Amino acid sequence: MTRANEAWLSLVESDEVWSLRLYVAGQSPKSLQAFSNLTTLCEEHLTGRYEIEVIDLVEDPAMAEHDDVLAIPTLVRRIPAPPRKIIGDLSDTDRVLHGLRIGTGGP
C-alpha cells in the first residue's frame, strides 16, 4: 500500500466533514431520486460527517458555471479535494461509491 493510499485511508476514516453539492433542475423525478439515493448512501457510509448542498439550476442557472455542470443531476464532491463528479440519479450505488472514492482507496 502506497503512502498516498495510507493518507487517504486515514482521511476517510478521519472526522473530516465531506462537502457534497448536488445540482438539480427543479423537482424533476431524477432530481428527487438522486437526492434520496444520496442521503441514503451518505447515512450509511459517511454517518454524521457530510453536508449536502442542493443547487437548483432552474432558480439559479448561473451556478452551473461553477462546476461546468451540463448533466442533471450532477453530484460534485468538493471536500475532500480533488473535486469529483458523478452524474445520474445515483441509483447505482457501487458506481457512486467508486465515483466518490469511498471504500476503494485512492483519491
The residues that touch another protein, with contacts defined as CB under 8 A, are 23, 25, 28, 30, 33-34, 37, 57-58, 61-62, 64-65, 68-74, 82-93, 95-96, 98-99
Smallest separation (angstroms) from another protein to the CB of 15: 25
What does the buried/exposed string (b/e) look like for 50-86 if buried means 16 or more CB atoms within 10 Å of the residue's CB?
beeeebebeeeeeebeeeebeebbbbbbbebeeebeb
Which three three-digit cell numbers place residue 52?
449536502
Smallest separation (angstroms) from another protein to the CB of 3: 23
**What is d(CA 81, CA 47) in angstroms, rounded to the nearest whole number?**
19
For another protein, the closer CB: 9 or 97: 97
**What is d(CA 85, CA 89) in angstroms, rounded to the nearest whole number?**
13
Radius of gyration over every alpha carbon of the chain, rounded to an integer in angstroms:
14
For another protein, the closer CB: 10 or 93: 93
Smallest separation (angstroms) from another protein to the CB of 40: 13
Smallest separation (angstroms) from another protein to the CB of 43: 17
For another protein, the closer CB: 5 or 26: 26
